[in-house]
Structure 1
Amino acid sequence: MQPSGWVRWVSKSKKHASAMEHKGRSAGGKVLRSRSKTATLDESILNKIKEHQKELVKQKQEEGLKRFAGEDAGAQDTSENVFKKYESYRRESQLPTKVDDLRIMVDHRAQSVILPINQFAVPFHVKTLKNVSTSFEGDYTYLRINFVTPGQLSGKKEDVPFDDPDATFIRNISYRSTDARHFHELSNEITEMRRIALKREAEQKEMADVVEQDQLILNKQRPLTLPEVFPRPALEGKRVPGHLTIHQNGVRFMSPMRQDQKIDIPFSNVKHLFYQSCDKELIVLIHFHLKAPVMVGKRKTRDIQFYREASDVQFDETGNRKRRYRTGDEDEIELEQEERRRRHMLNKEFKHFAQRIADASEGRVQVDIPYRDLGFNGVPSRASVLLQPTTDCLVHLTDPPFLVITLSEIEIVHLERVQYGLSSFDMVFVFSDFSRTPLHVSSVPSSSLDDVKQWLDSVDVCVTEGAVNLNWGAIMKTINEDPHAFFQEGGWGFLQADASDVSDESESEQESEFDSDLDDGDQESTEYSESGSEFGESEESGSEPYEDSEEGEDWDELERKAARDDQKRRRERGEGSGSEDEDVKPKKKSKGGFGKL
């Protein structure tokens, strides 16, 4: 027999449990209401973004029509392919004296190959040669020289245009000799000369946009200096820190090892100036993004950075006098506090120096700081990095290769592979200068989709999305052929139309799947009711009787309905009614109240 106090405690605990249950339900109701309110707020924000994006696309189309309107509204790329002519020798007297032997000769000085044709020495420039090959047939060795000629459809390169449609071109020429070693040496020599010529041409093409910078005017007085900083890209030789100084019209980095190793950056060539703190980073840096690329050592670069490491390697010295009376935690706390103070001083020093650079430029350069809270991960080149928005750009400055995208130069941003169930999507930045190749940033997490769209919309950048990756090479080629016609036919509206169609299709697919799930559920429920006898036989009730809900039907009524359904199916199959009384007669209930059908 239990004491009365125990009974009072049990009744009190039951009351407390019921009160907590009621409180939980009411709290749950509040949570649901707050979630619905948040969903409504998110929906209103999405609607505002959609309306704003429609206005931006319309504005871009109007700007495109005005931009490419006029007499020269056709192709933006006015450079046409022309048949280039190369001259080996201007006069016959410039030919080598050994040509009288009428042998195949290679003249590296004139970058030409002299071939004997019909008792004449005919020079061919190396740029007119396509390739050289040798083959063997019996006792003879064949040397075949193929030339670059118009009308060749093979290869991915654009076809060489005709200078004169009535002209006749030689595709190839072959020579035969019994001296296999001589022909093999000639083939290697011609191939090597052609490789050097192609390399030289590629270097000239790469250096075409390198401009001559303004001469740096040095300060006569002692200039402001930021000591012990490392440059990126690094200079040749040993990696040692140098000094960055501010002068009248720019900044200069000087290596302490060699006076001829220096980097001059005039303010006239600076497009963006960034300062990035060492909070949650290993380095603190000042970054210059240039308008035109410059040569740093033997490298062409548009981004120059000066940084300092935020933390040094710490050594735990044990065995000293302090260590005898301490457990070690105090030393670790002191090290952490010292590192925080060091990071704070570094941030203060670099930020102050960046601001002094902006002041010395007299308004031509402003300091821009990345916002880490708005950053998102992506793969712009090789690895996944943190992309951080700034006031005017989207940047990654921590590790090379650096990424700096100016927002004012973006025409539109298209989000690819935006589908339900995918863990990531891609971003394509199309620039206002259609001759530039669009920039792809892949593998952006889908969790950042709403934040990315909201940020791009806040800086007035057109954003569209689609479910598949597009062939941007073909798209930009079509736009460059006739940009005015592109904007007349709707411009970038086709991206929005595709996105809306894809979203409608996805919604309809989801609705159809949902409907099919409902149908399957109904079918399963009917099968469940028909197989209720098995359920009733397998289930065993407890000592307490089964309490049915007020809305449910009695088991006897369910048995009669099941019997009538069975009788109806047999009648449809033509089996007759059978013993109706036996079918309709309900069976006995089990001990727990579950009927057997």
Structure 2
Amino acid sequence: MVLRERNQRGCRLLKNINKVLILYFLPLNRYKITNLMHVSAAGLRNSHRHVPFHVKLIQSVTTAQENGYYILKLSFLTSSSTPFSDIVKQIKKLQTSFENKDIISVQESNSKNKLELIKFGEKPMLKNIYIRSDGYSNRRNKGVLEAHLNGFKYIIGRTLEFEILFSNIENGFYYPLSSELIVLLHFSLKNPIVINNKKVTMVQFYSNLGNVIDSVDGLQERKFFSEQDELLEERNERKQRELIATSFDNFLKDILEPTSKHFMIEIPDQKLEFKGAPLNSLIKIMPTKTSLVSLSECPPFILKLADVELVSMERVIQGIRNFDMVFVPRNYKQPVVTISSIETVYLDSIKQWLNDMDIVWYTSKNNLNWSNILKQIRSEISEFVKIGSFHSFLNDEDSGQDDEENEEDDNDDETSDISYSENEIDDSDDNFIEDAVSSGEDIEDELADDINEDLEDDEGSFIESD
């Protein structure tokens, strides 16, 4: 977003740097919106000129960062609901039309590659399976997942049917039964598919043991009057657990050979499980061979380790029960991934796991402003490499490397380049980091400049002010 002031009238002009929608408002009467312009693909526009609105019209302003995008939200004051209600309907109608166009384009691209069915003989299948994804979820109706020659097919009676080709699957994860009483198969897709008129990029097929147990013999409606009833429930639970685990294991064995050419099905290591909050709530996180995942909760959390350059464990202070873990990407244009509120009891096991994965890690007593750090690195990449990269300011008493040789000689003034023990940083290093960490500049300036350059190339640019 770009807010441009007009000092003469004490007004501001709001511009959305996205190319999809731009909002403009008509003149106001004593700080009230009197009318709004018509909605089109270009947004709300005045046919003659862009009209600003008074700053007192804004009730609140909030900012947020989500999936690498920076969001600016403004709440407006008005005495009449008619303008806003009409404009909301038009915006939703416009959004729906664009979503329908995207769905049609996805369906057309997917129709080029067809599923090769197994017409004769038995085909591997999972029965009584639920489905959920990033755009669709069905907790009521169970379906059947079939494995064919080059992909999967999922069917729920006559209500739902879709296909997933092996070549379109980027990652596969198998989450076996655990204390959460859920077993699932997770597939991350290279290209989106359409499920129930929704565009999705990941699909989970799962069975919830708790729902199965409740439906057996109507035990959910019974009251326990004796030990025999409790023993009966435990026996049914063990039986259902074995049946579900066996069905998933047999299905994985049958699809192992045809899918191995396209993707690998990974199983999380539950021994290295820890709890953290990558979003808003604590979830169970476990590592696999290539990723760090949490699959049982929605939305699932998946972090590819191949995209991580280093890990910074912050707020590691004696007496503090929790710490934060920051994953710095190899692409400095991408935002960091932070898992907060990790209990310190997991600290040693996480360090050992990072060592086993050959991932460089550091510890710090403070939280760093990684947005400013990465911005400073991008602007002065040659200086960043010259001073020794991240090691120049992240070196700490703990590390992912072996420091035994340095501990033998405490009086040695010269430390190794790969040693993570504390050493002095020259003035140029201090200046670089101070500029990066304590800089108060907002990164929106950089984003606005990049997007404004793109907007200049568009035909009939509609964001020029008077």
TM-score with structure 2 length normalisation? 0.62
* One-letter amino acid of the counterpart of residue 315, structure 1: L
**Structure 1 residue matching 2:141: 3-state secondary structure:** coil
State the match for 1:224 in structure 2. Answer: 124
Cα offset, 1:291, TM superposition? 3.0
- Cα 1:376–1:364 change in 2 (3 A) is same
CA distance in 2, matches of 1:414, 1:385: 20
State the match for 1:315 in structure 2. Answer: 219
CA distance in 2, matches of 1:242, 1:83: 40
1:365-404 aligned at under 5 Å gives the runs 365-404=263-302
Tell me if the contact between 2:39 and 2:87 (Cα under 8 Å) persists in the aligned partners. Answer: no
State the match for 2:373 in structure 1. Answer: 475
State the match for 1:305 in structure 2. Answer: 204
State the match for 1:244 in structure 2. Answer: 145
Q: Deviations over 1:94-120 (max 9, x none)?
A: xxxxxxxxxx995656858886xxxxx
Cα offset, 1:451, TM superposition? 0.5
Structure holding more strand per residue: 2
Cα offset, 1:242, TM superposition? 0.8
* One-letter amino acid of the counterpart of residue 252, structure 1: K
Cα offset, 1:433, TM superposition? 2.5
State the match for 1:417 in structure 2. Answer: 315
Identity of aligned residues (%): 26
- Report the aligned-residue RMSD: 4.6
Tell me if the contact between 1:275 and 1:351 (Cα under 8 Å) persists in the aligned partners. Answer: no
Cα offset, 1:269, TM superposition? 2.2
State the match for 1:364 in structure 2. Answer: 262
**Structure 2 residue matching 1:434: 3-state secondary structure:** coil
CA distance in 1, matches of 2:232, 2:62: 67
* One-letter amino acid of the counterpart of residue 330, structure 2: S
CA distance in 2, matches of 1:288, 1:224: 17
**Structure 2 residue matching 1:342: 3-state secondary structure:** helix
**Structure 1 residue matching 2:253: 3-state secondary structure:** helix
Tell me if the contact between 1:253 and 1:262 (Cα under 8 Å) persists in the aligned partners. Answer: yes
State the match for 2:166 in structure 1. Answer: 267
**Structure 2 residue matching 1:241: 3-state secondary structure:** strand
State the match for 1:286 in structure 2. Answer: 185
Q: Choose from 457, 461, 480 the match for 2:355.
A: 457
State the match for 1:58 in structure 2. Answer: none
Tell me if the contact between 2:39 and 2:45 (Cα under 8 Å) persists in the aligned partners. Answer: no
1:143-542 aligned at under 5 Å gives the runs 212-213=109-110, 215-222=113-120, 223-233=123-133, 235=136, 239-258=140-159, 261-297=160-196, 299-311=198-210, 312-313=213-214, 315=219, 328-497=226-395
CA distance in 2, matches of 1:229, 1:430: 37
- Cα 1:498–1:301 change in 2 (3 A) is farther
**Structure 2 residue matching 1:287: 3-state secondary structure:** strand
CA distance in 1, matches of 2:362, 2:383: 21
Cα offset, 1:199, TM superposition? 6.0
Name the larger-Rg structure: 1
- Cα 1:221–1:288 change in 2 (3 A) is same
**Structure 2 residue matching 1:215: 3-state secondary structure:** coil
**Structure 2 residue matching 1:336: 3-state secondary structure:** helix
- Cα 1:343–1:131 change in 2 (3 A) is farther
Structure holding more helix per residue: 1
State the match for 2:409 in structure 1. Answer: none
- Cα 1:105–1:358 change in 2 (3 A) is same
**Structure 2 residue matching 1:239: 3-state secondary structure:** strand
- Cα 1:407–1:252 change in 2 (3 A) is same
Q: How many residues align?
A: 347
TM-score with structure 1 length normalisation? 0.49
Tell me if the contact between 2:130 and 2:142 (Cα under 8 Å) persists in the aligned partners. Answer: yes
- Cα 1:210–1:489 change in 2 (3 A) is farther
Cα offset, 1:407, TM superposition? 1.6
CA distance in 2, matches of 1:275, 1:318: 34
Cα offset, 1:404, TM superposition? 1.2
CA distance in 2, matches of 1:377, 1:237: 27
Cα offset, 1:435, TM superposition? 2.5
Tell me if the contact between 2:166 and 2:262 (Cα under 8 Å) persists in the aligned partners. Answer: yes
- Cα 1:295–1:415 change in 2 (3 A) is farther
State the match for 1:99 in structure 2. Answer: none
Q: Deviations over 1:404-457 (max 9, x none)?
A: 112222111110100001001001112222222211110000011000000111
Tell me if the contact between 1:273 and 1:288 (Cα under 8 Å) persists in the aligned partners. Answer: yes
* One-letter amino acid of the counterpart of residue 266, structure 1: L
Tell me if the contact between 1:424 and 1:443 (Cα under 8 Å) persists in the aligned partners. Answer: yes
Tell me if the contact between 1:465 and 1:495 (Cα under 8 Å) persists in the aligned partners. Answer: no
